[in-house]
Chains A and B, each alone.
Chain A
Amino acid sequence: MTALNATTSNVRLTAPLSRAKVGMASLIFMESAFFSAFLVTYLYYIGKSPDGPQPLDCLELNLVLINSVCLLSSSITVVLAVRSLARGAMGAFRLWLAVTILLGLEFLLGTGYEWWGLIEDKGLTLQSNAFGTNFYSLVGFHAFHVLVGLVLLIGVFILSLFGFINPARDHQRVDIATWYWHFVDVVWILVFTLVYIVGRVPQGAPA
């Protein structure tokens, strides 16, 4: 085999990996590390609040279940939005995106309402005890990330209203933006499990 052959046969085009996808995946990886610190801290403090309001007395499932259903189903509606965009159906895209945004808003307002009740009726604040500290930090940081995801989706929605979204060119970009929304949902599943299921075991009882 001549040198030239060896050389040319060795040059292969590397598979074009989308830098937007890799960038968003890295961002989500980083955010996962951030949340894992708060989740582990929450886990560590379960059952370590001898005084003050207790999870079993404070947290009620009714409202938070509605919120959770809204947030989780918004993951489905956002997928429907992206699929509509890929088909070129702008009307359906805007509709599903609007539904997603409304569901996200419901989650944020619902969380706010829940907090209002906790502060006013149960007297649970960030300063109450370890439970209050951890509850508001974890749920609050998650809600903050929902807000960021919501701003992202609203931005896409406004762009689409003014005709800046071109289905052929942009459906992948919009898809990547929605990865963040799915991530926020997955984090909520973990937060919900930890705070409202694992964390509501009676205090002092072996967990």
Chain B
Amino acid sequence: MTIGSGHSSLAPLPGPSPRGRFWELVMQWAISVDHKKLAMMYIGAGLIFFLVGGIEAAFMRLQLAQAGNNVVDPATFNQLFTMHGTTMVFLVGMPILLGFGNYLIPLMVGARDMAFPRLNAFGFWLFIFGGLLLYFSYVGADGLYGAGTAPDVGWFAYAPLTSRTFSRGNSTDYWILGILVSGFGSMTTAINFIATILCMRCPGMKLMRMPMIAWMMLVVAFLVLVAIPILTAAQSMLLLDRTLGAHFFDPETQGSAILWQHLFWFFGHPEVYILILPAFGFVSEIMPTFSRKVIFGYPLMVAATVGIGFISLGVWAHHMFVVGLGPVLDSFFGATTFLISVPTGIKIFNWLGTMWGGRLQFTTPMLFVTGFVAMFVIGGLTGIMLATVPLDWQLSDSYFVVGHFHYVLFGGTVFGIFGALFYWFPKATGRLLDERLGKWTFWLLFIGFTLTFMPMHVSGALGMPRRIYTYEVDRGWEIWNLISSIGVPVQMAGVAIFLWNVVRSLRKGEVAGDDPWDAWTLEWSTSSPPPEWNFDRIPTCTSARPLWDRKHPEDPDAHYE
């Protein structure tokens, strides 16, 4: 092989101007295949989309704050809730969680990078361009003339609303293609996760010694490989319907609108678990560290995760009870949905068991994951209510459902993400986030979140349908909507303080050192930030807590395995 010494090309340019240095930096990130750089770009891009999706939500809450309000017109409102949902699921939840997987998996299993680093970069750029394509619809969906329109068919894009007849222009095509492209990115990332976790573990890192996050990400990658292709297939069919005149989903020409619902929710429900399982992983790492106890019931946690992975493939039609599937299917999907609460409940009790009798340290990450457990339990319980078919007939498509899934995805996933951000920020940057500002962020987010989403259960039970752009005065919904809207600025303040915290800590935060939390997993054994090759020497793993063994050779964890 005559590649020669490639070192000369890697040397810094001689005497770069500030402008040159800037472009050098841009290029360094743009062509990087380092899993840590890609992960930070994933999370950074996800946070930007989080702000965009949040602003869309804020406009909706502003519009709904009073009865008969006129902040945005109905068409804009349709675009707002469509873009908010699509953004939060595909451009916020997925990339941030896959980003954390990217950052943590190689470090946690003791590898120098992912199994396929270039495929990893490919997946990231697909996600970015998919997201930009979706948002380009604001400019280009109508064609080159006039103002564009964003997609307005709802994030689950039910047929036949998406047919050419009812959805004119190109906005729905942008929705299809943007998600299709970023979906390919997710699938390549999932392949990478599986190959890394199965093939790249350091000596001694048996499957049953892996950190819980690695297990969660393995199951998530499996779900991505099952679920996203179904969405890709369904969107391909829809694209054929819209562009070539096929008849998959158009009831007028023997197509079936219900088929879209089946295909979409066969993707959609595993997707919910794709969004929550990594957050389960964050809790399962952060909670033991700040309880100073090992995780309670590790093997059962693994079994519950795998169980959730499988059962989640058999619950999709609980989104479709009002369609009228008949008593047999309704009972089946109601029962499977009850069933999935068993492994989920096991996890909740294991986390409580981890905290029980521990020396609890309520740092910011610990506050967030504790909040996660509490909020997720509420979201889980309303989920069980909604799995009860007759109750679902009453509550389906009401604000009760909106409240339910925000408790799971905001109180669950987003709280988990914030906990993880505070916990691993020192590893990624070498500096700790400020604790006092962090606690402000937590309490503002917690209070704002409760103000916004708790009243939705009431307005929903009082009959307020989701996705309406306004409502009449005498329905008894006004006070609940007003409270919901008041929560928004509180949450925005929390997020603003967090952003200020990041900027400030990057410049003059407390230097973290390798292991600021006295944790036990391998990512804390290397420097902060880790070198590009992660570990100078590939570590060996002697138990489920290799770093504990290294710090306490007199009492290694391996003794208790």
Contacts and interface: CB of A to CB of B under 8 A. Distances in A.
A196 B268 CA distance: 32
B531 interface: no
Given A17-B198, A30-B191, A31-B229, A37 B255 contact: no
Sorted nearest first, the 4 A-B pairs with minimum C-beta distance are A37-B233, A34-B229, A33-B229, A19-B199
B206 A34 contact: no
A163 to B, nearest CB: 14
B191 A127 contact: no
B225 A126 contact: no
Contacts of B195: 19, 22-23, 26
B556 A44 contact: no
Nearest to B245: A127
Contact of A129 (B187, B221, B247, B540): B247
Interface stretch (A3-11, A59-67, A68-76, A146-154): A3-11
Interface string A2-40: 010011001111101111001100110111011111100
Interface in B89-148: 115-116
B194 interface: yes
B254 interface: yes
B558 interface: yes
Contacts of B350: none
Given A13-B203, A23-B115, 8 more contacts: A10-B204, A12-B203, A12-B206, A31-B229, A34-B230, A34-B233, A51-B254, A127-B245
Interface string A101-137: 0000000000000000000000000110110011011
A41 interface: yes
Contacts of B191: 23, 26-27, 30
A160 interface: no
Nearest to A125: B245
Nearest to B233: A37
B226 interface: yes
B232 interface: yes
A36 B554 CA distance: 55
A172 to B, nearest CB: 14
Nearest to B240: A137
B468 interface: no
A110 B259 CA distance: 32
A126 B245 CA distance: 7
Contact of B204 (A11, A16, A23, A50): A11
A49 interface: yes
A37 B230 contact: yes
Contacts of A126: 240, 244-246
B205 A14 contact: yes
Interface in B212-230: 221, 225-230
Interface string B538-559: 0011110000010001111011
16 contacts: A3-B556, A10-B542, A13-B203, A14-B201, A14-B204, A17-B199, A26-B191, A26-B194, A27-B191, A30-B191, A34-B230, A36-B230, A37-B229, A37-B233, A44-B259, A127-B245
